[in-house]
Homo-oligomer: A and B are copies of this chain.
Amino acid sequence: MEKSRLETETQLRVRYSETDAMQVVYHGNYLNWFEIGRTEMMRQAGIPYRETERKGILLPVIEARAFYHAPARYDDLIMVRTSLVEARVKVKFEYQILREADRQLLVDGYTVHAWVNQDMKPVLLRKVLPDMDQKIMEWFRG
């Protein structure tokens, strides 16, 4: 029996400000795109991150990793494909950054997160925001 993994796809276009003197996207900017991917995933799951922040519950990054295969360039159309792969104790998202034109994989990687309160202390989502935790678990199970 297979676990269905939910995926969301988000499109963006490379900004001039995201390029660097190698005439490709600066490597650090892919972390911004990872963030866009998980933001849209959470919105689609009915748990907009903005709402958890308003309730004082944050989801900072505790680990980030990226593998760079080929460069994105100015004005390229880009697809960010995001999957939620862990949601229990830690939260882990995986990402693939593709060039729309030919579906070439440019960068892949993941980020690991922890739910914390505004003092950056870990919290259990099912205790502090049980409704949101419920939604994430349902959605994670697919």
Contact = CB atoms under 8 A, between A and B. Distances in A.
A100 interface: no
Contacts of A22: 58, 60
A1 interface: no
A64 B64 CA distance: 8
Number of identical monomers bound together in the oligomeric complex: 4
Q: What does DSSP make chain A's interface, helix, strand, loop or mixed?
A: mixed
A129 interface: no
Contacts of A61: 27, 68
A52 to B, nearest CB: 11
A31 B68 CA distance: 14
A17 interface: yes
Given A65-B64, A67-B62, A31 B28 contact: yes
